[in-house]
C-alpha cells in the first residue's frame, strides 16, 4: 500500500486550536471521537473512511518521527512511507480505553522505522545486539566531536561517554563498517596498477581434491583381496605394465586387465557411497 505522505489533515489548524492544553506536540490532533467510532464500526466503507481520516490527521506526527532518521542512507520520502505504514498499524491496533493514542503510536512508528533499517538497509546481516551497539557508538562519536577541532574520540573515550565496555565499543565500531559493502570489482586505493579486491582473493587448490579422493579410496582398497591390492600397487605405484605384472604373477595379461578394471570399479563405488553418506549426514 502506497500512502500519500504529502497529504495534510483537513482543518488541522482548527483541530490543534481545539486540542486540550498540555499536549507534547503540536502535530497531535484531538481524534478521540474518531477512535471511539472506529472501535465500534464493522469492516466496510464507513470504517475505512474513518480510518483514512485518522491516518490523514496523524500523518504530520509520522513525518516528524521519520525526520529523526534522515541522513542515514535512506531517502526522506522512503522513511515517510515506512513511518506511515507504522502509523496505519498503530491505528489498527490501538485500544482507546488504554490511554492517549500518541503514547502508543510514537514507539510503534519508531519501531517500524528501526526495523526498516535493521532488515532492509544492512548489506551484511549482524545480530540485533551489535546493531544497537553500532547506534550507541555512532551517537557517542557525534556528541564527542561536536566542538570544532576536537580529535577523533578513542574507544576509551566512547566507553566512558556511553557506559559501555571497550570491547563493546570496538564491536560497535566494527559494525559501522558493516552497513555497506565494497564491490569486489572496486579498485583498491593507492595502487598504480588499479587492481581490484577480487584480485587479492586466492583460488581453489586442486590438491585438496586429491587428498579427499585418496582418503575416500583407502577404505575400498582395504576391502580388496590381497592379490588385487598387489596388482593395483604394482600398476599405479611401481608403474609396471600389465604384461610385466602378468609374468610376475603367472597369469595372462587379459586377466590382469580384468582384475584392474574390476578392482577400480569396486573402490570407486565404495568411495562414492561414502561421499553420499557424508552429504546426507551433513544435511540432516
Q: Which three cell numbers stand for residue 250?
A: 603367472
Q: Which residues are CB-contacts of 165 (< 8 A; sequence separation ≥ 6)? A: 159
pLDDT computed for residue 16 by the predictor = 37
Domains of the chain from N-terminus onward? 12-121 (1.20.120.1810), 122-182 (1.10.10), 206-283 (1.10.10.10)
Rounded to two decimals, the pTM is 0.43
Taking the C-alpha atoms of residue 87 and residue 62, their distance in angstroms, rounded to an integer, is: 7
pLDDT computed for residue 51 by the predictor = 92
Q: Which residues are CB-contacts of 201 (< 8 A; sequence separation ≥ 6)? A: 184
Q: Which residues are CB-contacts of 160 (< 8 A; sequence separation ≥ 6)? A: none
Alpha-helical (H) ranges within 117-182 are 128-144, 155-162, 166-176
Taking the C-alpha atoms of residue 269 and residue 271, their distance in angstroms, rounded to an integer, is: 5
Distance of CA 202 to the CA centre of its chain: 25
pLDDT computed for residue 58 by the predictor = 93
Task: Give, for all 284 residues of the chain, the pLDDT tens digit.
Answer: 455 555 544 444 333 333 333 445 555 788 889 988 888 888 899 999 999 999 999 999 999 999 988 877 678 898 999 999 999 999 999 988 888 899 999 999 998 988 887 666 655 666 778 878 888 888 888 888 887 778 888 999 999 989 999 999 888 888 776 655 666 666 666 555 666 666 666 666 667 777 777 777 888 888 889 999 999 999 988 999 999 999 999 999 999 999 999 999 988 888 887 767 766 766 65
pLDDT computed for residue 246 by the predictor = 93
pLDDT computed for residue 174 by the predictor = 80
pLDDT computed for residue 270 by the predictor = 83
Cα–Cα separations (whole angstroms), residue 241 to 217, 231, 234, 246, 248: 22, 10, 8, 9, 11
pLDDT computed for residue 89 by the predictor = 92
Element (H, E) at 223: none
pLDDT computed for residue 14 by the predictor = 37
b (16+ CB within 10 A) / e for 133-159: bbbbbbebbeebeeeeeeeebebeebb
Taking the C-alpha atoms of residue 38 and residue 12, their distance in angstroms, rounded to an integer, is: 19
Closest to 13 measured CA to CA, from 55, 77, 60: 60
Amino acid at each position: 500500500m502506497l500512502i500519500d505522505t504529502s497529504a495534510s489533515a483537513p482543518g488541522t489548524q482548527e483541530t490543534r486550536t481545539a486540542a486540550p492544553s498540555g499536549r507534547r506536540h503540536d502535530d497531535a490532533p484531538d481524534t478521540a471521537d474518531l477512535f471511539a467510532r472506529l472501535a465500534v464500526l464493522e469492516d466496510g466503507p464507513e470504517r475505512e473512511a474513518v480510518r483514512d481520516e485518522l491516518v490523514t490527521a496523524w500523518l504530520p506526527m509520522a513525518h516528524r518521527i521519520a525526520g529523526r532518521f534522515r541522513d542515514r542512507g535512506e531517502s526522506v520520502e522512503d522513511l515517510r512511507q515506512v513511518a506511515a505504514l507504522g502509523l496505519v498499524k498503530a491505528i489498527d491496533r490501538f485500544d482507546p480505553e488504554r490511554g492517549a493514542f500518541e503514547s502508543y503510536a510514537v514507539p510503534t512508528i519508531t519501531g517500524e522505522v528501526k526495523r526498516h533499517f535493521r532488515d532492509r538497509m544492512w548489506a551484511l546481516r549482524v545480530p540485533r545486539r551489535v546493531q544497537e551497539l553500532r547506534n550507541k557508538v555512532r551517537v557517542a562519536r557525534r556528541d564527542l566531536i561536536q566542538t570544532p577541532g576536537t580529535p577523533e574520540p578513542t574507544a576509551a573515550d566512547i566507553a566512558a561517554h556511553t557506559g559501555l565496555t571497550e570491547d563493546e565499543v570496538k564491536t560497535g565500531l566494527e559494525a559501522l563498517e558493516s552497513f555497506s559493502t565494497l564491490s569486489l570489482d572496486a579498485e583498491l586505493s593507492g595502487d598504480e596498477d588499479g587492481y581490484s579486491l577480487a584480485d587479492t582473493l586466492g583460488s581453489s587448490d586442486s590438491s585438496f581434491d586429491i587428498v579427499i579422493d585418496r582418503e575416500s579410496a583407502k577404505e575400498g582398497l582395504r576391502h580388496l583381496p590381497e592379490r588385487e591390492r598387489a596388482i593395483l600397487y604394482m600398476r599405479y605405484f611401481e608403474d609396471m605394465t600389465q604384461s610385466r605384472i602378468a609374468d610376475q604373477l603367472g597369469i595372462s595379461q587379459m586377466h590382469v586387465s580384468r582384475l584392474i578394471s574390476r578392482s577400480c570399479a569396486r573402490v570407486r563405488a565404495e568411495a562414492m557411497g561414502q561421499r553420499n553418506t557424508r552429504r546426507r549426514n551433513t544435511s540432516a
